[in-house]
Structure 1
Amino acid sequence: MNVRKYIFAIVLVVVSLYACKSDDDDEAAAAVPARDRAEQQVTDDAMLQEYLKTHFYKVEDVFINGDTTPEYQIVKLDTIEGANSGEPAIFDSDLLTTKKITSNDVEYNLYILNLNRGEGPQQPSFADSTLVTYKGELLFDDDNGFDSAVTPVWFNQVNLIEGWKEAVVDFKGTLSENFVENSDGTVSATGFGHMVIFIPSGLGYFNTSQPGIPSYSPLIFNIQLYKVNQADHDRDGIPSDLEDLDGDRIVADDNTDGDVSPNYLDTDDDGDGTLTRDEITVTDSNADGIITIDEITFYDDDGDGVSNHLDPDDRDVKNN
């Protein structure tokens, strides 16, 4: 499959990031009074199930250059009626899974159509960077969707809505040899992660509207995942997902020293004057470029159960 590269790709990145970022990142978004989240989840889930039971999907190639090579693929969703009355419902597909997500003390159903898990070596964390193409649609809406990118764009998972990142973390990109930049201005890719996700509003924008998205809208995203980069936003040696100290899969609320920067953006997590990277030792033992927690040595010089990089009482530099 080929994905066309456009001159104005950077413009698409900016637009896409705006459309997919979380509620908290968009101060200009219009919000209406918040409803009870548990009650809204019941309403949203009923709508999502109705959609899944009355619609089918079909993967189609898209041709732009006028040749026989498709530039990219899309998933067409349509109603089961008329000439399509014999099509199988998405709800009955063996490829559809339901992922339970608890957020704001409410359990949500996130529906994921698993078209291809991906053949690459790495699944992204909720804090990593991902290279994707995608299309976003509303339920029961026959227009062309509210946002899309047919040229691969990099996303920072930290900034995306919860439903998106909780789905993407279960997929992989493609193998490096299966993603090639061509001399004619296209890129060729096979074996990438491919999914359609059906998101309740509580894992989306909830009571905040976005361009083309009314408040309390369940969302549909068709996503193709090509590459994954492990993120270490502050380059302190600790991957950003490992700086989620309270385990809520949100790194923006972990701030040991209480300054203006959460730990994943703070080069000195405990504010003791010794950089975090100098209070730990990192060894990529298998030389795969991916740092796991067992490849980081955390020290506790005063034996109080708090690692040096989070303890202002311990300041010794460990790496000379």
Structure 2
Amino acid sequence: MKLRKILVLLLIVSAVFTACEKDDGGPEITPLRDATEVYEEDLEDIETYLQTHFYNYEEFQENSPYSLENDAFRIVFDTIAGDNADKTPLKDMVDFKIVPFDGIDYKLYYLKVREGLGDVVHFSDQATLFYEGSSTIDNYVFDGVVNEEQFNLLTVGSSSGVVPGFQQALIEFKTSDSYSTEDDGPISYHNHGIGAVFIPSKLGFFNSALQGVPNYTPVIFKFNLYRRAILDHDEDGIPTFMEDRDENGDAYDDDTNGNFTPDFLDNDDDGDGYFTKDELEYGEYTIMVGDPEPVFAENEFEGSRTENNGVITIKTVIVTDRDGDGIPDYLDIDTIPEI
């Protein structure tokens, strides 16, 4: 089952209690388990896994980190035992971050085999990647792909993003900085991020049982992160990641004009009656694959990027402040666009 399909199922069932049968044959509602209690169990399970498992780091270290040979590297986990008793445990190799979610600060461990040399990934981007999802119980693989797939990292409306733990790990990595093809074969990406994340169940699928994996189970995602596309969900000219004004990773709590529609879904952010896209300026750059990146002005940001036969077209957004009051025109109700 693909990750996208799993997430659609999660959206459907996450608000519904699990039903079982009473002795008299009627349905009985089983309440959700306490999230704090589950997290304590999850953290113990994850840290035990990290202490008792290793990854094939020696295979990766045979070559320099950003060698062509390592571009095709895949992470493999195994137990520290027998012939592998002297291996370095994952616990000594992982990083972690604290992720606040639903009133709990979660410790999210991630393995950064290689950060990547390409573009940073924003919480609201679309990512192209190879991945495999497995259980911390027995390494049972419940999901994965053969070829790369695209996923939106932010859930909007009825669309499904990735689970929060996966999203929070991916933004710690960068994409590839180049690619190549041979004889019309598949694309080979170079110098991309390679890693894994160990996700407490609340940042994953929580009470939604996966095929072969019980509910309330921590999960692992291994991934190779190839590309990202910057998304502008309301098509107002401002990329969604820029509409997270307080930079807390939550675009839903930014509502400049107070109309109960977050800025990233509002095409008139300041409520002055003029479309946001008309209160911006725009630029465009053309380069060839492998050329140095253009240097943007301080108030200029990449809005989109396309590639056709080796020619890269980069369109930019230029945020103006014509009255010099420190408030961008598109957020300043006192400044109207020049017609």
* TM-score between both structures, scaled by the size of structure 2: 0.72
Query: Could you tell me which of 140, 162, 167 is aligned with 1:160?
Result: 162
CA deviations on 1:191-232 (whole Å, 9 max, x unpaired) are 110001111112222233445553322110101011122222
Task: Name the CA shift for 1:268/1:294 in 2 (closer, same or farther; >3 Å).
Answer: closer
How far apart in 2 are the matches of 1:307 and 1:289? 14
Contact 1:132–1:154, Cα closer than 8 Å, also in 2: yes
Hey, what does 1:19 align to over in structure 2?
6
Hey, what does 1:296 align to over in structure 2?
319
Question: Are 1:123 and 2:120 matched, yes or no?
Answer: yes
CA deviations on 1:41-96 (whole Å, 9 max, x unpaired) are 222111100001111111679xxxxxxx9995432212222332232211123xx1
Query: Could you tell me which of 102, 105, 109 is aligned with 1:104?
Result: 102
How far apart in 1 are the matches of 2:210 and 2:5? 9
> What secondary structure is seen at the aligned counterpart in 2 of 1:183?
coil
Task: Name the CA shift for 1:70/1:192 in 2 (closer, same or farther; >3 Å).
Answer: closer
Query: Could you tell me which of 167, 171, 174 is aligned with 1:172?
Result: 174
Hey, what does 2:187 align to over in structure 1?
187
Hey, what does 1:65 align to over in structure 2?
none
Displacement of 1:161 after TM fit? 1.6
Task: Name the CA shift for 1:101/1:150 in 2 (closer, same or farther; >3 Å).
Answer: same
Task: Name the CA shift for 1:298/1:230 in 2 (closer, same or farther; >3 Å).
Answer: farther
Displacement of 1:281 after TM fit? 3.9
Specify the structure having the higher radius of gyration (Cα): 2
> What secondary structure is seen at the aligned counterpart in 2 of 1:290?
strand
Hey, what does 1:9 align to over in structure 2?
none
Unaligned runs of 5+ in 1: 1-11, 62-68
CA deviations on 1:113-149 (whole Å, 9 max, x unpaired) are 11111111x2111111211100000112243x11112
Query: Could you tell me which of 133, 137, 141 is aligned with 1:140?
Result: 137
Which runs of structure 2 are paired with 1:24-63 in the superposition (5 Å)? Answer: 26-28=11-13, 31-32=17-18, 33-58=31-56
The one-letter amino acid of 1:286's match is V
Contact 2:283–2:317, Cα closer than 8 Å, also in 1: no
CA deviations on 1:263-319 (whole Å, 9 max, x unpaired) are 32332335554211113445679359625x995225679x8x9766456x557224x
Hey, what does 2:78 align to over in structure 1?
78
Task: Name the CA shift for 1:162/1:277 in 2 (closer, same or farther; >3 Å).
Answer: same
Displacement of 1:255 after TM fit? 4.7
> What secondary structure is seen at the aligned counterpart in 1 of 2:168?
helix
Displacement of 1:39 after TM fit? 2.9
Unaligned runs of 5+ in 2: 19-30, 61-68, 155-160, 285-293, 304-315
> What secondary structure is seen at the aligned counterpart in 2 of 1:316?
coil
How far apart in 2 are the matches of 1:212 and 1:281? 52
Hey, what does 2:251 align to over in structure 1?
251
Provide the alpha-carbon RMSD of the alignment. 3.5
The one-letter amino acid of 2:6's match is A
How far apart in 1 are the matches of 2:244 and 2:9? 18
Question: Are 1:316 and 2:321 matched, yes or no?
Answer: no
Hey, what does 1:225 align to over in structure 2?
225
Contact 2:280–2:330, Cα closer than 8 Å, also in 1: yes
The one-letter amino acid of 1:279's match is E
> What secondary structure is seen at the aligned counterpart in 2 of 1:186?
coil
Task: Name the CA shift for 1:191/1:259 in 2 (closer, same or farther; >3 Å).
Answer: same
The one-letter amino acid of 1:27's match is I
How far apart in 2 are the matches of 1:99 and 1:165? 12
Displacement of 1:190 after TM fit? 2.5
- Percent identity, please: 32
How far apart in 2 are the matches of 1:242 and 1:171? 19
How far apart in 2 are the matches of 1:22 and 1:272? 40
The one-letter amino acid of 2:336's match is D
Contact 1:34–1:207, Cα closer than 8 Å, also in 2: yes
Displacement of 1:184 after TM fit? 4.5
Q: How many residues align?
A: 287
> What secondary structure is seen at the aligned counterpart in 1 of 2:47?
helix
Displacement of 1:237 after TM fit? 1.9
Contact 1:22–1:160, Cα closer than 8 Å, also in 2: no
Hey, what does 1:3 align to over in structure 2?
none
